[in-house]
Structure 1
């Protein structure tokens, strides 16, 4: 598999490059960065002390010309710019970027009419198995349980709640026959005029609450709490390394080898779809 990596100098980009270089069925053929990146022209494997012959470039068309697959874990604007070129060139795309707007998601769906795409807010195999466990739990615990989603990430993460937390909420809401937008509670703050008193009122039945933590170098922790009278059930996933995201991305590329077009997620890749 001839693979190009977007965001090649970032934390996730480096992990992806290392995973591709260590894979027996993948070849690194391109490394993308923005035009103001200070490392343009350097070897993409320099951070590992390796010479790959692949130089970091900002020329999307040139990089994708030699690529069968693009793996993109960047920012929404960059991802959509890369996708427009990938669509023209037929480069199958794996997207782990979070924080896409509704309009950007529509662009993704439109591109998938001609292009094979895997889009998932979290490429970890373990996280996607967790999604399936949450679907089962929500259906079984559909009465008498309050649901809270607690997520923690490093201090540099710019979106909140995380894409993974939102996906967890969507999975649970769908299992309950609801739309997340109708039941989600993203913040709780009580105040009257200028006096902040902390009174928020009782919890609304059927709501799904979110709590966000940002600090240090936390890779990604997610816990869903089903709180009933006299008991609670917690389903958690904790990441200690981005390696799981990188390995999941390669698994997604292998899945796309047999797809000509369409928009897929990791549930499709892992065969967990109904």
Structure 2
């Protein structure tokens, strides 16, 4: 196929000038004498880095990697994996219900999501759309199981109950009972001072792969995204850190491991199912204002009046 048919044109090659028409400003002997002077001037203009500077430059990359590794090790114990289960049949009595809860073979996984530990009392924050089936279920067939670790690193799997939710901000709070286990709540940051270009990291369980870290930057601020009830969530954080199915409800953290948002949505090219790198999180300042009301009252502040 010709390049022209692809809309590509090669630049024309200019002919070299006639050597007889070139006028040199000095003789070849002067050029030989002048060359070292030019070389010395170029070295002075662009000094060669010292050995110490080279060592410092080589150390910067490992130090940055160590910081990110430490960030993940410090933050990931506060991140949980949420599995939505559907029981094959409705339990008829409390003993049968207890048996079905313990026997996962009687339940089908309908979806997975992420969340993070809010406090030491077992409250977990996630997206409403992650657990919406549980919030609206009246049949008793929906269950929610949470995989998490305690401060000693022990893996734990428990059923969780929904204690409050706010579809307008796509937030929900779960509660797990963990007598004898101490949990590690996530460390809160703030979203009011975020700047476009600063580093951020998403931790969650994309496609069921638990405790996954993706890296990116803050791509935009003050975005508007749809909520599950059809209204707009304003002030969302845009990031290019990969957020895929299963990441929803997990934390978006800054370089210090402080949570700055709740990973919520991704812009997907129609018909592909692939993320375009345009992802969104609910600002942590909005979450901090909303979650305490969900824990105490089960509903957002706006619905109390």
Please tell me the TM-score bracket, short chain as reference: under 0.3
User: Which structure has the bigger radius of gyration?
Assistant: 2
- Of Structure 1 and Structure 2, which has the larger fraction of its residues in strand? 2
Q: How high is the TM-score relative to the length of structure 2?
A: 0.24
Q: TM (normalized to structure 1)? A: 0.26
